[in-house]
Every structure is written in structure tokens, then in C-alpha cells.
Amino acid sequence: MDDDANGGPVRLDLKGLKCPLPALHTRRALERAAPGARIIVECTDPMAAIDIPHLVNQTGNELEDAQTTALPLVFRIRKRAEPASG
């Protein structure tokens, strides 16, 4: 369950990007991440407080924590495990 090559969480610095770019970059990172990987997203777009939790829910991943009361907004996401085959 490595998160990145060093075993830590993948960090996305999306500060300064405007909607819809933070959500698009987060979606791409989730698609590339291994099951169980952690992703930390930092951004300054206020719309991300709505968009990123919605994206995480829509894709079946887990939003472990969201800090949305001050900038930068910080989201800690865990990629879902792959569904069992059979």
C-alpha cells in the first residue's frame, strides 16, 4: 500500500488554481494512485470545499479529513481498495 515512491502520502499543491482544476487534478491523482494510497490536497479555491468532497464521495473513496475554515483548504483522502473479484 505504498502512497508514493517513498511510502508517504502523495501531496498535491493546487494553490492558486481555480475551479474546476483542483477537482480535475485530484481525480487524476486518484486514478493513478494505488489502492489504499493517501493523497493530501492543498488548494485556495473556495469552490473546492464543495467540489473535492463531492468528487471523493462520487468515486467511492474516503475523505479522512477536511480543513475548510481557513486557507489553504486541506483534504486528506484515501483511495478505496479495489473491489473483490468473484
**At the topology level of CATH, where does 10-78 sit?**
Translation Initiation Factor IF3 (3.30.110)
Chain segment 14-40, per-residue pLDDT in tens: 999 999 999 999 999 999 999 999 999
CB-count burial class (<10 Å; 0-12, 13-18, 19+) for 82? exposed
The angle, 0 to 180 degrees and rounded to 10, between the axes of the packed helices 21-32 and 48-58 is 30
pLDDT in tens, 37-79: 999 999 999 999 999 999 999 999 999 999 999 999 999 999 9
Residue spans per domain, the chain:
10-78
- Residues 61 and 64: their CA atoms lie apart, in Å, by 9
Q: Do the bridges between strand 10-14 and strand 38-43 make them parallel or antiparallel, or are there none, so unpaired?
A: parallel
